[in-house]
Amino acid sequence: MYRGQLSLIPDYLRYPAAWFYPRILVGPGAFLTQRFVAEMNITHVINCASDGDCPEWFPDRYPEKYLCLDAIDSPFVNILDWYPKFEAKLHEFLRVGSGVVYVHCQAGMNRSGSLAMAYVCKNFHLPFEEVLVAVKKQRPVLLQNLVFMNQVREFINGYISRSKDTRLDVDRVHDRDSGLFTPDHRSGLEGLIVHAGQPEDGAGTITLHDLRPLLEERFGIRGEGEPAGGESKEDRGRPATQPSGAGVLHEEHGPAQ
Per-residue 3-state assignment (H helix, E strand, C coil) for the chain: CCCCCHHHCCHHHCCCCEEEECCEEEEEHHHCCHHHHHHCCEEEEEECCCHHHCCCHHHHHCHHHEEECCCCCCCCCCHHHHHHHHHHHHHHHHCCCCCEEEEEECCCCCHHHHHHHHHHHHHHCCCHHHHHHHHHHHCCCCCCCHHHHHHHHHHHHHHHHHHHHCCCCCCCCHHHHHCCCCCCCCCHHHHHHHHCCCCHHHCCCCEHHHHHHHHHHHHCCCCCCCCCCCCCHHHHHCECCCCCCCCCCCCCCCCCC
What pLDDT sits at residue 211? 65
For 94-150, the pLDDT digits (tens) are 998 899 999 999 999 999 999 999 999 999 989 999 999 999 999 999 999 999 999
Mean per-residue pLDDT, 165-191: 42
**Who has greater pLDDT, 5 or 200?**
5
- Show me where the domains of the chain are located: 1-14+205-251, 17-202
Does CATH place domain 17-202 in 3.90.1150.10? Answer: no
Of the listed ranges 32-46, 91-105, 149-163, the least confidently predicted one is 149-163
Confidence of residue 176 (pLDDT cuts 50, 70, 90): very low
Predicted TM-score (pTM) of the model is 0.73
Q: How many CB atoms lie within 10 A of CB 106?
A: 20
Distance CA 7, CA 28 (A): 18
What pLDDT sits at residue 95? 94
What pLDDT sits at residue 195? 45
